[in-house]
Amino acid sequence: MKKSTPRKPHRHCVSEIYILLVFIPDTETRLEEVGLDVLFAVFSGICRKRGVELRDLAFRDGLVWILVKIPPTETVSGLVNALKGASSRVLRNRYETLFEAERLWNPSYFASSWGPNL
């Protein structure tokens, strides 16, 4: 009996890659007032378009923590640019009064990757 695996098969490989991203909001940004549900909806829409699975999202210590499962064809920097850029546009359009700062996100971020123990 063959054991099923949650790993996703690709053309020449089988992968299961998780990335933990930590975004730093700009000092004048008030993301807590927007709410985690709105931010989750924005990020999940962006991830879905790129073939990325958004697993978790949290605010902790003034930072935004994001756990995603990515295909091997996705680059971390490309995903970060898409998440920061699109979320900045969407949130500025919806909540003009909250985001009067020059930028929504600090340009820095943290990324850590891991795969399952085999």
Per-residue pLDDT of the chain (118 residues; tens, 9 = 90+): 455 556 665 566 667 789 999 998 886 667 777 778 888 999 999 999 999 999 999 988 888 999 999 988 889 999 999 999 998 888 888 877 666 667 888 899 999 987 765 4
Q: Which of 60, 29, 57 is nearest to 45 (CA)?
A: 57
Q: Is residue 42 part of a domain?
A: yes
- Give residues with Cβ within 8 angstroms of 7, minimum separation 6: 14, 15, 16, 116
35 located within any domain = yes
Count of structural domains within the chain: 1
Q: Tell whether 69 is covered by a domain.
A: yes
Distance (Å, whole) CA 102 – CA 109: 18
**Residue 11, in any domain of the structure:** no
State the residue range of the domain holding 48.
Answer: 30-99
- 65 in any annotated domain: yes
Asked whether the beta carbons of 71 and 52 are under 8 A apart, the reply is: yes
pTM reported for the whole predicted model = 0.80
